Amino acid sequence: MSDTKQIKPPLTIKLCAPRGFCAGVDRAIQIVELALEKYGRPVYVRHEIVHNKFVVDGLKAKGAVFVEELSEIPAVDAGRPVIFSAHGVPKSVPEDAEARNMFFLDATCPLVSKVHKEAQIHDRRDREVLLIGHAGHPEVIGTMGQLPAGTVALIETEEDARKFQPKSDRSLAYITQTTLSVDDTAGIVSVLQERFPDIVAPHKEDICYATTNRQEAVKHVAPDVDAMVVVGAPNSSNSQRLREVAERAGCKVAVLIQRASDIEWPDFEGARSLGLTAGASAPETLVEEIIDAFSTRFDVIVETVRTAEETISFNLPRELRDVVSTPQAATG
């Protein structure tokens, strides 16, 4: 009797490390969960706490209510906790919350808050501020909103950097969005420094450690695999940058997907090696889901490729530290 069991083709999955949640995302999600534990439901969150539908839906199920503006919160719930997302908010948002007598918790990533402070310091020192970033991204809106409207000039591309004209003879300074492509940003900075040799740079790189580490891991893996999968949301800046980095590193098939159900299987026909990573707001459970999906069609071997170690964590807001039994430490 012949063996009719189908032989699955072999596939080596090279799992990038680091990948997935960064310290800022982990802290933001924890803030929502601890607020629900301490104050009960509902807890309101202005904008997606992080850019990941799976995470947001999970928090909704626990009692979080997501709004885009504070005005959407019913008057009867004005005393309920309101949490600002990890991306940060313009100064006008906490001012509005105070005017409405709202109790709010700020889940802005501390590395984004660092950029906010840089903008304010440059302004106080009478410098014209340039922000390298993507128009419309919540982090960019929040950072530009630290200063009066029209104060910050947004630079998205090298062409923008070439065309930029200062408004006055004040000295210049630049800051950056934390989730940009390291290589793209270096190109823009190079143009600005060539045109304005005295432009003031950040004391420490604004692109966050997690963005840099995840891009470096992809650069290491992408040239050696037939395809690359980035787990993340289409509105996640750092996830989109990972896909672009993979393409530039020479990977012919580089795709961004949210869930295993999004996999376009024809893209992977004939593949014998696959790189796999996840954006900073994508949970590990989705990575495991992708591996399981490939295992149904391929004989999978998983190899972890580690290019950096991450040990950074951030303090929780004081209002929530009594909810956790183990104190939160900040090492970065």
Q: What is the pLDDT of residues 158-199, one digit of tens each?
A: 999 999 999 989 999 999 999 999 999 999 999 999 999 999
Mean pLDDT of 94-105: 96
Mean pLDDT of 98-123: 97
End-to-end Cα spacing for the chain: 64
What gap in Å lies between CA 256 and CA 274, rounded to an integer? Answer: 13
Query: How many C-alpha atoms does 93 have within 13 Å on its Cβ side?
Result: 26
pLDDT score of 40 more than 80: yes
Which is it for strands 227-231 and 253-257: parallel, antiparallel or unpaired? parallel
pLDDT score of 332 more than 50: no
Q: Give the distance from CA 69 to its chain's centroid.
A: 21
Which tens digit of pLDDT belongs to each residue from 214-271? Answer: 999 999 999 999 999 999 999 999 999 999 999 999 999 999 999 999 999 999 999 9
The one-letter amino acid code at 293 reads A
Asked if residues 52 and 72 have their Cβ atoms less than 8 Å apart, the reply is no
Backbone dihedral region of 136: left (phi > 0), alpha (psi from -120 to 50 degrees) or beta? left
Residues designated catalytic: 139
Per DSSP, the three-state class of 242 is helix
Look up tokens 């795709």; give the residue. Answer: 255
Mean pLDDT over the full length of the chain: 95
Mean pLDDT of 100-112: 97
Note the pLDDT of residue 6: 79
Which tens digit of pLDDT belongs to each residue from 294-319? Answer: 999 999 999 999 999 999 999 999 99
pLDDT band at residue 326 using 50, 70 and 90 as cut-offs: very low
pLDDT score of 5 more than 90: no
DSSP label at 254?
E
pLDDT score of 3 more than 70: no
Mean pLDDT of 51-56: 95
Whole-model pTM: value is: 0.92
